[in-house]
Amino acid sequence: MTTTAFQEPVRQETPGAAVREPRRRTGRLRRVSLPYLLLLPALLLELLVHLLPMVIGIVMSFKELTQFYIRDWGTAPWSGLGNYKVSVDFDAPVGKALLHSFFVTVGFTLLSVGLCWLIGTAAAIFMQDTFRGRGLLRALFLVPYALPVYAAVITWVFMFQHDNGLVNHVLYDQLHLTDKRAFWLLGDNSFYALLTVSVWKGWPFAFLIVMAGLQNIPKELYEAAALDGAGMWQQIRRITLPSLRPVNQVLILILFLWTFNDFNTPYVLFGKSAPEAADLLSVHIYQASFVTWNFGTGSAMSVLLLLFLLVVTGGYLALTSRGRRTADA
Amino acid sequence: MPESRTAKSPMVPPRSFLWSRRIFLTLLTGFVLIPVYVMVSSSLKPLADVTGTFRWLPSGLTVRPYIDIWSTVPLARYFVNSLIVAGSATICSVVVAVFAAYAVSRYTFRGKRVFTVTVLSTQMFPGILFLLPLFLIYVNIGNATGIALFGSRGGLILTYLTFSLPFSIWMLIGYFDSVPRDLDEAALVDGCGPLGALLRIVVPAAIPGIVAVAVYAFMTAWGEVLFASVMTDDATRTLAVGLQGYSTLYDVYWNQIMAASLVVSVPVVAGFLLLQRYLVAGLTAGAVK
């Protein structure tokens, strides 16, 4: 085919078209099917690894699936809405624990995303101008993001150790800020330990995105503002931050989804069962499924979690016009 | 005088700005570097130093941990496994994403909207939701066809390559959109097929975006823990699971753990820092428009 195969297929009749009819038809067929062929690998993979498992997961959530049926899960008895009833019965232990875990996760996610965004944005704005050592600093700041999760988090585990960790050494031995060596990976402190690690690991992503976003702000805006006598702080408040709005909307959504679903960090930090104060949903569901062997309940919890994320994301996208454009892309 | 935002209208940042910047960046550098320092210094300490109270400076430097890590657990094997898994997942993911993003960026077709929305929404699936179903699917495929996906590197590659796919496709759509359409239309007029136009014009013009996507895919695969711990066996174990081997019932070899973490991290961090310019360029054109 010689003509363009883009948005507006050229349909003009050319002399001698009748003679070349067969070739034209195969060309047309190719033109119509080509985008689908290009999409096919992605489609098949998404289907196999994301959508099919999701459908199976939803079916499983209606079954009484325990370890006895796992070899041949199709034969497990139906339980209707039983698993959901157990999950949302907030007076009984299972539901109560799930509700608690939900609130912990929401609180943790909001704090972590907020702090990551704040630190990342501040760092990007402070480093917008060139100064000596800027390149080195920028590289350093990206190290937490580049480190493999398990290597980074295991280092924090070492730092949070009760007897031989850096945190207690500094807080208790050196600064005398605490009256005894605290346990950081047990009890209530574990929430702050998790938050610290999550922010340490997560803020460079915000930094990267905001840095990229800053490059798209036209320099003329700053020049005009400077001519009008706006100081640096005013420029940041009146130009930089408003111009970052569309970037922030996408950034915050991505950070939210990644943090909310993060399994790697709590799993390396606490192991198979997290302390109550830091019992994130992902680990909670893992424990319900793989430690107490109740796959049906675990699946029901996962589906509830997905519904929650769908509602939140949908609401968020509806609120932000930029989000709508992205989904349309 | 510090260089200003623009060369044309020099503006000296006020003192308050300079001081806030100094304080903020110093604190942040400390926050970022302390764990890195702990990792490096502890990896050079004798065991006695890491089992007692923490010390900022080692009592004696030793490279012993770096020798022992290879025999305490089969680290080399895990390393090779991780390299194969993450490398293959990256290559496949990039190729699949390039094709898909090209189709979305350059063609109108029925179902385009459904496709993009579906792919993007898989980004919000909690991994835990499809861990068990995927495990069952792999086992069933294995039973039915004899293709071992569960416990094999292949299964892990297949899983990981879809993890980075939604973000990669989304970023590349943005990037391809920013490559002028005239370029590949001209190539088509000159007799290139659509694939020729993609490979000769669009891909070379979008190299920063493609490198950015590859870096992202590699890091996702290299750092994944959940599926690696459920879907591997002794022979196919990756580093994510392998590092847990340094804690025995009696002792935790923290110096060896730190040495191994460092060895595992250096290639990724070095590669990332070398390519970070591409990442920012790719993000600028692709994700942040």
User: pLDDT category, B269, cuts 50, 70, 90?
Assistant: very high
What is the pLDDT averaged over residues A282-309? 89
Q: Would the pLDDT of A292 be above 90?
A: no
Nearest CB to A42; choose among B96, B108, B117:
B96
| Residues whose CB falls within 8 Å of the CB of residue B265, separated by 6 or more in sequence, listed in order | A146, A147, A148, A151, A152, B39
What is the pLDDT averaged over residues B143-150? 81
Question: Which segment, A242-251, A316-325, B24-33, is predicted with the most confidence on average?
Answer: B24-33
- Quick: pLDDT tens for A226-283: 888 888 889 999 999 999 998 998 899 989 999 999 999 999 999 888 899 999 999 9
- Quick: pLDDT tens for A135-149: 999 999 999 999 999
Q: Cα A85 to chain center, whole Å?
A: 28
Type of residue numbered A295: F
- Residue pair B247/B183 in contact (Cβ under 8 Å)? The answer is no
Predicted pLDDT at B174 = 86
Angle separating helix axes B254-285 and A189-214, nearest 10 degrees = 30
B30 burial (CB, 10 Å; 0-12 / 13-18 / 19+) is: exposed
What is the pLDDT averaged over residues A153-170? 94
What is the pLDDT averaged over residues B195-212? 89
What are residue A294's DSSP bridge partners? A66
Predicted pLDDT at B33 = 96
Type of residue numbered A18: A
Nearest CB to B243; choose among A41, A48, A150:
A150
DSSP character string of A246-301:
HHHHHHHHHHHHHHHH--HHHHHHH-SS--GGG--HHHHHHIIIIIS-BHHHHHHH
What average pLDDT does the structure give for chain B? 87
Predicted pLDDT at B139 = 84
At residue A78, the 3 state secondary structure works out as strand
CA distance, residue B41 to nearest chain A CA (Å): 11
What average pLDDT does the structure give for chain A? 86
DSSP state of A133: T
What is the pLDDT averaged over residues B207-228? 91
Predicted pLDDT at A328 = 46
What is the pLDDT averaged over residues B119-130? 81
Predicted pLDDT at B276 = 86
User: pLDDT category, A28, cuts 50, 70, 90?
Assistant: low
- Quick: pLDDT tens for A30-49: 667 888 999 999 999 988 88
Predicted pLDDT at A325 = 52
- Quick: pLDDT tens for B80-104: 999 999 999 999 999 999 999 999 9
DSSP state of B12: P
Predicted pLDDT at B266 = 92
- Residue pair B221/B146 in contact (Cβ under 8 Å)? The answer is no
Instruction: Report how far residue B136's alpha carbon sits from residue B133's, in angstroms, rounded to the nearest whole number.
Output: 5
On whether any CB of chain B is under 8 Å from the CB of A32, the answer is yes
Please report, rounded to a whole number, the percentage of residues in chain A having pLDDT higher than 90.
52
Predicted pLDDT at A101 = 96
Predicted pLDDT at B7 = 43
Predicted pLDDT at B200 = 87
Predicted pLDDT at A29 = 65
More reliable by pLDDT, A21 or B173: B173
Please report, rounded to a whole number, the percentage of residues in chain A having pLDDT higher than 70.
88
What is the pLDDT averaged over residues A144-166? 94
- Measured between its terminal Cα atoms, the distance across chain A in Å is 27
Predicted pLDDT at A252 = 93
Angle separating helix axes B254-285 and A149-159, nearest 10 degrees = 130
A1-6, long-range: CB < 8 A, 24+ apart: A1/A27, A1/A30, A1/A31, A1/B188, A2/B188, A2/B189, A2/B191, A3/B188, A4/B185, A4/B188, A4/B189, A5/A31, A5/A34, A5/B107, A5/B188, A5/B194, A6/B106, A6/B107, A6/B181, A6/B185
Angle separating helix axes A21-46 and B75-106, nearest 10 degrees = 140
| Residues whose CB falls within 8 Å of the CB of residue A319, separated by 6 or more in sequence, listed in order | none
- Residue pair A214/A124 in contact (Cβ under 8 Å)? The answer is yes
Q: Would the pLDDT of A21 be above 50?
A: no
Predicted pLDDT at A27 = 64
Dihedral sign, CA of A317, A323, A325, A328?
A: negative
For an interface test with A, which of B125, B145, B219 has the most A Cβ atoms less than 10 Å from its Cβ? Answer: B125
Instruction: Report how far residue B150's alpha carbon sits from residue B166's, in angstroms, rounded to the nearest whole number.
Output: 23
Nearest CB to B6; choose among A50, A119, A219:
A219
B124 and A309 within 8 Å at the Cβ level: the answer is yes
DSSP state of A51: I
What is the pLDDT averaged over residues B226-242? 88
CA distance, residue A176 to nearest chain B CA (Å): 15
A226 and B123 within 8 Å at the Cβ level: the answer is no
Cα distances (Å, whole numbers) of residue A52 to A83, A91, B138: 21, 34, 12
Instruction: Report how far residue B86's alpha carbon sits from residue B92's, in angstroms, rounded to the nearest whole number.
Output: 10
Q: Would the pLDDT of A9 be above 70?
A: no
On whether any CB of chain A is under 8 Å from the CB of B115, the answer is yes
Q: Which two tokens stand for residue A169?
A: 């050494």
Q: Would the pLDDT of A285 be above 80?
A: yes
- Quick: pLDDT tens for A166-220: 999 999 999 999 888 999 999 999 999 999 999 999 999 999 999 999 988 998 9
CA distance, residue B67 to nearest chain A CA (Å): 18
Nearest CB to A149; choose among B42, B136, B225:
B225
More reliable by pLDDT, B90 or A326: B90
At residue B247, the 3 state secondary structure works out as strand
Q: Would the pLDDT of B39 be above 70?
A: yes
User: pLDDT category, B193, cuts 50, 70, 90?
Assistant: confident
Q: Cα A112 to chain center, whole Å?
A: 12
On whether any CB of chain A is under 8 Å from the CB of B100, the answer is yes
Dihedral sign, CA of A182, A184, A187, A192?
A: positive
ipTM value greater than 0.85: yes
Contact list, A208 vs chain B (CB under 8 Å)? 279-280, 283
Kindly report the backbone phi and psi dihedral angles of residue A246, in degrees, each rounded to the nearest multiple of 5, phi listed first. Answer: -60, -40
User: pLDDT category, A74, cuts 50, 70, 90?
Assistant: confident
At residue A66, the 3 state secondary structure works out as strand
Instruction: Report how far residue B262's alpha carbon sits from residue B65's, in angstroms, rounded to the nearest whole number.
Output: 11
Predicted pLDDT at A275 = 92
Cα distances (Å, whole numbers) of residue B185 to A23, A25, A72, A83: 21, 21, 54, 56
A328 and B133 within 8 Å at the Cβ level: the answer is no
pTM as predicted:
0.88
Predicted pLDDT at B182 = 87
Predicted pLDDT at A2 = 41
What is the pLDDT averaged over residues B250-268? 90
Kindly report the backbone phi and psi dihedral angles of residue B247, in degrees, each rounded to the nearest multiple of 5, phi listed first. Answer: -95, 115
What is the pLDDT averaged over residues A273-301? 89
Q: Would the pLDDT of B257 be above 80?
A: yes
Q: Which two tokens stand for residue A147?
A: 């480190």
B162 and A6 within 8 Å at the Cβ level: the answer is no
For an interface test with B, which of A126, A290, A295 has the most B Cβ atoms less than 10 Å from its Cβ? Answer: A126
Predicted pLDDT at B221 = 93
- Quick: pLDDT tens for B125-135: 888 888 888 88
Instruction: Report how far residue A130's alpha carbon sits from residue A138's, in angstroms, rounded to the nearest whole number.
Output: 11
- Residue owning tokens 């692709």: B286
| Residues whose CB falls within 8 Å of the CB of residue A299, separated by 6 or more in sequence, listed in order | A57, A58, A60, A61, A63, A65, A83, A289, B129, B132
